Amino acid sequence: MIQFDTFKGVISTVQMFKTKILPAVLLAAVAVLIGACGGGTASNAITNGVDPNETAATVNGKVIKFEEVERAVKQQARGEESKLSPLELAGARLQVLQGLIEQEVMYQKAEKEGVVPKDEDVAAEVNKQKVESRLSAEEFDRQMKAAGLDEASFRENVKKGMAIKNLVDKVTGRIETPKETEIEAFFKGNPELFKRKRGVRLAAIVVDPSNSGQGDTTTNEAEADLKIKEILGKLQLPGSDFAALAREYSEDPSRFQGGDLGFLSEDDLKASYPQLAAGFMNPEFSVGRITNVVPINGRGYIFKLQERVEKEENLTLDSPQVRPQINELLVNNRKQLLAASYQAIAMNEAKVENYLAQKVVENPNELSGARPAAPANTNAAPADTANTNGSAANANTPANTNSAAANKPAVNANAGNAANANR
């Protein structure tokens, strides 16, 4: 199905609320360009010489303090904000602040519409998130503090997220079911969407040994190994439910769909999982079969083959799921457009004072584009041992895999001839 990226600002905030990203419930999903920054040095002072109690912006008189912006930037940069140049840091702050402004506007709308959740509902959601994080109380508190939150501020963030979701649900609740003529017109106007190509539908349980700082239950290789063994053991039990285990154990957003990764054409499969394509397309690899753990980009994947289409076919309106899919597509995109339009009007009606942006306008030449110097790498490999991929160890590693995960128990490199049939 087609996905249109219509949501912005608060819509991203609602999506983050739905996916339960622990330290970032309050934040809008802001694309801060930090990927090029390397790792390595201790972080400098968060505020970089700015008073954390200073007002960054106001929304209808409600103050957003600079400390809220810095907390959000730190979360987005995962502690690497000291590696940003002053110019990059200013850009990150402005983007994060815009998300906080949009969120505050919509929260105030939620208050006016009377859709702010009751205290008992907020408490229930907080407890639910803590349980679903599968963290101990101590580890949950530690990660909360690392994100600059305490119990009260975390609860307030959850409350705002719930209120905004309630508001969006109320606003978009007026969307009606598309008429049959609309469904037929969409089908005729988008014939390329209804060509069923050769490919597979996959589900996966993903274990990430890295510490993402977002409520991960595995933060190193040893913890990931133990978790993988536990999952594989449960998959071998009679009556085991792959989707339920994905929702419980997977460390990937697909867990909210029971691990469903959707349908991948054969070309998409080769592009995404080149080492697995031949195996999944092999008729001898039966539908419903589950692989052992497969290392991909440093993460461990346990796949389930849910469906395989071995020849192309053109679907019709009478094909199963075609009408429901068109209906869902039209309804969802109308909801997205309506919610984005509602937010745009709310922003126009709000009185917003962005003092951070004013400072940039007043002092545009004070922001250096130079990043702090990176420390020397004393562990660099000798020049004659490195290959074009970065190290000799990677010489035979497939492009989309990561050798760091190769020490996982019973790893398979090919789904067709090395996978375990756990089902």
**Other C-beta atoms lying within 10 Å of the C-beta of residue 177:** 10
H/E element holding 309?
strand 299-309
Amino acid (1-letter code) at residue 285: F
pTM, 2 dp:
0.62
pLDDT at 18: 35
What's the one-letter identity of residue 59? V
pLDDT at 416: 38
pLDDT at 356: 92
First to last CA, the chain: 29
For residues 306 and 264, the answer to whether their CB atoms sit within 8 Å is no
pLDDT in 10s for each residue of the chain, 423 residues:
322 222 233 334 333 333 332 223 223 222 222 222 222 222 333 334 456 689 999 999 999 999 899 888 887 776 677 788 888 888 889 999 999 999 999 999 999 999 999 999 999 999 998 887 777 888 888 888 877 788 998 999 999 999 999 999 999 999 999 999 999 999 999 988 888 889 999 999 999 988 665 446 777 888 889 999 999 999 999 889 999 999 888 988 898 889 999 899 999 999 988 989 999 999 999 999 999 999 998 899 999 999 999 888 888 999 988 999 999 999 999 999 999 999 999 999 999 999 999 988 988 887 766 666 655 544 444 333 333 333 333 333 333 333 333 333 333 333 333 333 344
- pLDDT the model gives residue 342: 96
SS3 for 363-423, per residue? CHHHCCCCCCCCCCCCCCCCHHHCCCCCCHHHCCCCCCCCHHHCCCCCCCCCCCCCCCCCC
pLDDT of residue 19: 31
Contact at 8 Å (CB) between 99 and 105?
no
Adjacency order of strands within the sheet including 55-59: 62-65, 55-59, 352-354
Q: What DSSP state is assigned to residue 361?
A: H
* H or E stretch at 186: helix 180-189
pLDDT of residue 47: 38
What is the model's pLDDT at position 212? 62
What is the model's pLDDT at position 385?
Answer: 34
User: What number of other Cβ atoms are within 10 A of residue 351's Cβ?
Assistant: 9
> Which residue in 316, 330, 338 sits closest to 10, CA to CA?
338
Given the DSSP bridges, would you call strands 55-59 and 199-207 parallel, antiparallel or unpaired? unpaired
